[in-house]
Chain A
Amino acid sequence: MLQINEKEIPFSEGLTPADFAQTVKPDADLFIVNGYPVSSDTPLRDGDVCCCIKKGEIPSHEEMECLLTARHTPGVHKIAKKSVVGIMGLGGLGSPLAVALTRVGVGKLLLADFDVVEPSNLNRQQYFVDQIGKKKTEALKENLLRMNPYINIETIDKRLTEDNIANIFDNVDVLAECFDDAVMKAAALRAVLTSLPDTYYVGASGMAGYEENNMITTKQLYPKVFIVGDGTSAACPGQGLMAPRVGIAAHHQANQVLRLLIKKDN
């Protein structure tokens, strides 16, 4: 069986993407097989997943979701789509993390923040100048749905505390800690270790300034707890928080979340 733009089509020897440029997607000029672009005369093998795209054309809704994930490693989107991830804090870590998880197609995101977008956020956070003053939960939801309208986003517009975290996030597959404040980072880990021992957790500590890239690592602290960062670079006078290095940490978190979702499923 072949899967062509979400449709199941019986396999037969000698079929190429060009054959489907006639039937499934007339005038298609970009062919992605199993996550990788190929030429139209590439022989297909049984089980291949093929997306036929006509560049510049806005596809129908049913095709769109398949096309959005055409470059994914096969099998990843199916797992991502049925997963739930909580993100605590929508700043320099939480907003790029949410963008990465939206683009990979995580089915449901729980986004929590009590703050509004302000100008000093824009050096590293995924908001726009015209969103200044808006609640971060609302602004981020708006931006994410423009990237991938096929995910479900729940927003929690309140201040998280050590006491309410376990209740709010008791149904997530993975919980990401993206706070700015070190006191809340400690409080959140304590809350999860104590009250959500079965929840995977990906936190972060130490990503300020412009120290070396590779000082940022992902460490497994407990069987279900991972902490990203260099462990020491605090945001402080003389050492700012900037998009490049905070982004490295956020994407360490994003890939760790994805790895946990896939591992959990297998």
Chain B
Amino acid sequence: MKIICNGTEKEIRSGITLIDFISEQDLNPDTVVAEYEGKIISRDEYETLMLEENSKLELIRFVGGG
């Protein structure tokens, strides 16, 4: 099944959670803001939110330094 992540179609496995998807993109979930289907997802929902077919996900990634 597919989702649209940051404007690009991505193949995902059925039942994958948001945190596993983020980790599989080689990102640290703690440094990523996630907007799923137009809603900002709180950090404690990353473990339980399951991505659904044809849904839209925006990941905003931050790197350290300042």
In the complex, whether B7 has a CB less than 8 A from a CB of chain A is no
Q: How far is the CA of A221 from the CA of B62 in the complex (A)?
A: 13
Q: How far is the CA of A187 from the CA of B62 in the complex (A)?
A: 10
In the complex, whether B47 has a CB less than 8 A from a CB of chain A is no
Known: A186-B31, A186-B33, A190-B33. A235 touches B43 (CB 8 A): no
**Residues of A at under 8 Å CB distance from B?**
89, 91-94, 162, 178-183, 185-187, 189-190, 193-194, 203-208, 221, 227, 229, 231-236, 241, 246
Q: Which residues of B contact A186 (CB under 8 A)?
A: 30-33, 60, 62
Q: Which residues of B contact A190 (CB under 8 A)?
A: 33, 40, 42-43
**Nearest B-chain residue to A94, judged by Cβ:** B66
A162-B43 in contact (CB<8A): yes
B63-A233 in contact (CB<8A): yes
A93-B66 in contact (CB<8A): yes
Q: Which residues of B contact A89 (CB under 8 A)?
A: 66
**Nearest B-chain residue to A181, judged by Cβ:** B64
- Cross-chain contact of B66 among A180, A193, A231, A236 (Cβ < 8 A): A180
Chain B interface secondary structure, helix, strand, loop or mixed?
mixed
Q: Which residues of A contact B66 (CB under 8 A)?
A: 89, 91-94, 178-180, 204, 207, 241, 246
**Nearest A-chain residue to B31, judged by Cβ:** A182
Closest CB in chain A relative to B51 CB, distance in Å = 19
Closest CB in chain A relative to B23 CB, distance in Å = 15
28 residue pairs A–B, Cβ–Cβ below 8 Å = A89-B66, A91-B66, A93-B66, A179-B66, A181-B64, A182-B62, A183-B30, A183-B31, A185-B31, A186-B31, A186-B33, A187-B43, A190-B40, A190-B42, A193-B33, A194-B40, A203-B62, A205-B61, A207-B65, A231-B63, A232-B63, A233-B63, A233-B65, A234-B63, A234-B65, A235-B64, A246-B65, A246-B66
A206-B31 in contact (CB<8A): no
Q: Which residues of B contact A229 (CB under 8 A)?
A: 63
In the complex, whether B8 has a CB less than 8 A from a CB of chain A is no
Interface string of B22-66 (1 = CB under 8 A from A): 000000101111010000101100000000000000001111111
Q: Which residues of B contact A179 (CB under 8 A)?
A: 66
Most buried by A among B28, B60, B63, B66: B66
Q: Which 3 A-B pairs have the closest CB atoms?
A: A235-B65, A234-B63, A185-B62
Q: How far is the CA of A227 from the CA of B35 in the complex (A)?
A: 16
**Nearest B-chain residue to A89, judged by Cβ:** B66
- Cross-chain contact of A193 among B30, B40, B62 (Cβ < 8 A): B40
Closest CB in chain B relative to A251 CB, distance in Å = 13
Most buried by B among A91, A205, A231: A205
A189-B60 in contact (CB<8A): yes
Q: How far is the CA of A193 from the CA of B33 in the complex (A)?
A: 10
Q: How far is the CA of A187 from the CA of B43 in the complex (A)?
A: 8
Q: Which residues of B contact A182 (CB under 8 A)?
A: 28, 30-31, 62-64
Closest CB in chain B relative to A162 CB, distance in Å = 7
Q: Which residues of B contact A93 (CB under 8 A)?
A: 66
Most buried by A among B30, B42, B43, B63: B63
